[in-house]
């Protein structure tokens, strides 16, 4: 949740997790209620169609008639099936919402679904939000064209398992590992890594989080001279 000026942006807000329990398990700690916007402007950015990033009931509640929802074409199509209007975004096409300039950039999905990451700037500070992308080679051109960044929000849970109905299984991480996230942060030229997408769900063998995640993350940060800025649920990071 990003706030600047008179605009609030939600990126992949999540509240409703019960239906996903057979896959990702029950939450290890309670899901924090997503705060309502206090600004007159509000919008949501969705990275891809997976249920843990595209919570349609929550979006109806958060955005209502006073905001807009944005996502790649696959997200738009999935929303229309349920009567939810989504504005399509295109890679490298910047658009403006209030004080925010937003640019979708490439991401790589676990099972090949369409996915984007977002660069968001309010004219003073710029952040990179990676959704739950896997490792890819776009970090270098993203850094050249859009960097440096004040913070990179990247997934670190390096999950291994399988998506229901997708066969054969592969014992490869479905999101970035801690070392990959630290490395991407360094390449992006970001002042800090804000690790995300970890800690709340672990459901072997379908959804198995990276082992010894915290120690691996700390060591990688020290080895690569990257600041790790962990945020507790509900904690506010001010620039």
pLDDT for 77: 96
How far apart (Å, rounded) are the C-alpha atoms in residues 126 and 222?
24
| Structure-token match 């209030």, residue found | 98
pLDDT for 48: 98
Structure pTM? 0.96
> What mean pLDDT is reported for the chain?
95
Cα–Cα nearest to 180, from 147, 210, 207: 210
What architecture (CATH level 2) is domain 2-224?
4-Layer Sandwich (3.60)
Cis status of the peptide bond prior to 208, with omega within 30 of 0: no
pLDDT tens readout for residues 55-91 = 999 999 998 766 799 999 999 999 999 999 999 999 9
Over 90: is that where the pLDDT of 200 sits? yes
Residue 216's Cβ-side half-sphere holds a number of Cα atoms within 13 Å equal to 17
Cα-based angle 28, 128, 154 (whole degrees, multiple of 5): 30
Which residues does residue 68 pair with via DSSP β-bridges, in sequence order? 43
pLDDT tens readout for residues 135-192 = 999 999 999 999 999 999 999 999 999 888 888 988 899 999 999 999 999 999 999 9
Over 80: is that where the pLDDT of 104 sits? yes
């Amino acid at each position: 949740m990003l706030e600047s000026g008179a605009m609030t942006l939600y990126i992949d807000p999540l509240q409703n997790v019960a239906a996903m329990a057979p896959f990702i398990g029950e939450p290890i700690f309670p899901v924090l209620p997503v705060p309502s916007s206090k600004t007159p402007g509000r919008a949501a950015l969705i990275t891809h169609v997976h249920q843990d990033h595209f919570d349609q009931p929550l979006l109806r509640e958060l955005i209502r008639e006073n905001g807009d929802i944005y996502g790649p074409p696959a997200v738009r199509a999935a929303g229309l099936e349920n009567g939810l209007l989504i504005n399509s975004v295109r890679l490298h096409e910047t658009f403006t919402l209030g004080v925010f300039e937003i640019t979708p950039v490439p991401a790589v999905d676990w099972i090949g679904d369409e996915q984007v990451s977002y660069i968001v700037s309010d004219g003073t500070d710029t952040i990179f939000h990676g959704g739950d992308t896997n490792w890819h080679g776009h970090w270098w051109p993203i850094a050249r064209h859009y960097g440096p960044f004040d913070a990179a929000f990247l997934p670190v849970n390096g999950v291994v398992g399988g998506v229901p109905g997708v066969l054969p299984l592969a014992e490869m991480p479905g999101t970035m590992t801690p070392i990959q996230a630290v490395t991407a942060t360094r390449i992006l030229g970001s002042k800090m890594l804000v690790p995300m997408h970890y800690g709340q769900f672990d459901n072997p063998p379908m959804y198995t989080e990276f082992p010894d995640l915290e120690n691996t993350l700390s060591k990688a940060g020290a080895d690569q001279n990257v600041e790790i800025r962990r945020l507790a649920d509900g904690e506010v990071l001010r620039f």
